[in-house]
Amino acid sequence: MSELEAKTPKTEASGKNGKAEEKKKKKPTKKYNLPRHKFWFGIGKPLTMAFLKIKANFKRTRNDLTQRPYMILCNHACDLDPLMVINSVPGVVHALASDHLFKHPAFGKFVAHIAGPIPIVRAQMDLKSIKEAMQVRKDGGSLLIFPEANCCFSSKTSYIAPAIAKLVKQFKMPLALFNVKGSYLTKPRWSNSWRKGRTTCELVRVIEPEQLAEMSVDEIYDAICEALSFNEMEYQREMHVSFKGHDLLDGAERMLFQCPKCGRLMTMKSEGDSIACTECGYSVTMNSEGFLEGEDVVFDAFDKWDDWQREQAVKLVSEGHFDATGKEPLLITPVNELYKAKRAAKNVLIGEGSFALYCDRLEFDTDNAVETDEEGNAVTIGAKKYVWSFDNITKLSCVHKNRIQISVGEKDYYEIHSKNTYRSAYAYMIYFYCLKRHAQGKELDFFGM
């Protein structure tokens, strides 16, 4: 036997084994498995229903939804909202969820296995997210979307992007529109504490695919906005539900960032059930119904205070009461952490330093920047200034209570975590959009979330 003949059979065998191994490695794992999710939802719904009853005094309202796939839209005021909606709808429900849910390796994998949520980078549905949503529809599951893409900071429904109407029309699924009530005062986004009052999740309207086909995109959008519009404090003015808890205003300066008496920014400081201005001494307390009280109270609730400080932001920018030369920042906080973020993956720390908003850009100045070399190793490069001009920023969002997420270009995004946990990321977002739209010559009517 020649040397070539001796080697040939082994090479073929090796090739076959290699192809088999390659095929085995490439075999995709099915992310959305309806039998598996049905099993876990069957176990999980009674458990989460009991949890909601204990934690939020949740009462499920009756509705006439049948056992079939729906596209479900709902307003968003609290982290418990997804559980409330899922327990109000028959069958398996896959929620579009912030990719931050998946950044914790163990918990993210656990949730993905039992419930199969679809990760999205804050309010941005990329092609991958849409493909996963299509697969859910094909597999017979319902889709849950919170069009605000974020829990509201004040007590009312935030801006809803018109693109959601196009998505609804494209998917051709029965549309179920829900309102959650009471969840804002159960756990306001800015708060460090929980309160117990009464929460519900009510079906407002169902629109069948045949109706959606006859409606224009604008008509669908108007129907969504009308159904999802809700103001918790207006509701409280009628219902007067008591929400019992402690430290009711702890963390409120994350939202209430401007003093209504002296007008200064970032001077409010909370403690327990009260909040006060460190400059002029203006102070109010919060009662169990969520209203603000005090000797010289200006606004009795969050919605009115928030409307006013948004109006003040528009006024300040439109009237030019800021440094238009770009030398002095409008807002600055000294101690922050800058992270490079990836979709549904762990953030990577870049450095610590000051973060500032100027009239035309955002800046992060650090003395200990860390970057990754070609081999993937972390290398300390020392002092560096990261600058993002408004022209390159596609979106600025608030994440969790007080983090800032900056989307740059098509794929890159960063996160700013403040070591002063009471700094207002919300203020940065509002003034960023005011300044950017002012520079573009547009109306100052959209602040994003």
What average pLDDT does range 182-204 have in this prediction? 95
Task: Kindly report the number of other CB atoms within 10 A of residue 410's CB atom.
Answer: 7
Give residue 179's pLDDT: 96
Q: Which residues pair with 378 in a beta bridge?
A: 372
For the domain 331-439, what is the CATH code?
Answer: 2.30.29.30
CATH 3.40.50.1820 fits domain 34-239: no
What does the pLDDT look like over 316-328, one tens digit per residue?
999 999 999 999 9
Q: Which residue has the higher pLDDT, 293 or 30?
A: 293
CA dihedral 48, 345, 356, 447 (to 10 degrees): -50
Reported confidence tier of residue 104, pLDDT bands at 50, 70, 90:
low
User: Which residues, other chains included, contact 259 with Cβ-Cβ below 8 Å and sequence gap of 6+?
Assistant: 267, 268, 277, 279, 280, 282
Q: Which residue has the tokens 């101690």?
A: 335
What does the pLDDT look like over 263-288, one tens digit per residue?
999 999 999 999 999 999 999 999 99
Q: Which residue has the higher pLDDT, 2 or 362?
A: 362
Reported confidence tier of residue 360, pLDDT bands at 50, 70, 90:
very high
Reported confidence tier of residue 126, pLDDT bands at 50, 70, 90:
low
Instruction: Give residue 440's Cα distance to chain centre.
Output: 26
E strand spans, 57-161: 58-60, 71-74, 93-98, 118-120, 142-145
User: In terms of residues, how long is the chain?
Assistant: 449
Q: Which residues pair with 207 in a beta bridge?
A: 175
Q: Quick check: 399 pLDDT over 50?
A: yes
Q: How far apart are CA 9 and CA 4, in angstroms?
A: 9
C-beta separation of 359 from 326 below 8 A: yes
Burial class (CB in 10 A: 0-12, 13-18, 19+), 215: middle
Give residue 12's pLDDT: 45
Give residue 127's pLDDT: 73
Q: Quick check: 11 pLDDT over 50?
A: no
Return the structure tokens found at 395.
């979106």
Instruction: Give residue 21's Cα distance to chain centre.
Output: 41
What average pLDDT does range 288-316 have in this prediction? 95
Domain ranges of the chain: 34-239, 246-318, 331-439
Q: What percent of the chain has pLDDT over 90?
A: 62
Whole-structure pTM value: 0.84
User: Which residues, other chains included, contact 377 with Cβ-Cβ below 8 Å and sequence gap of 6+?
Assistant: none
- Residue 340 to residues 6, 31, 369, 383, 386, Cα–Cα distance (Å): 54, 26, 12, 17, 12
Reported confidence tier of residue 406, pLDDT bands at 50, 70, 90:
very high
- Residue 165 to residues 55, 237, 314, 408, Cα–Cα distance (Å): 34, 32, 28, 25
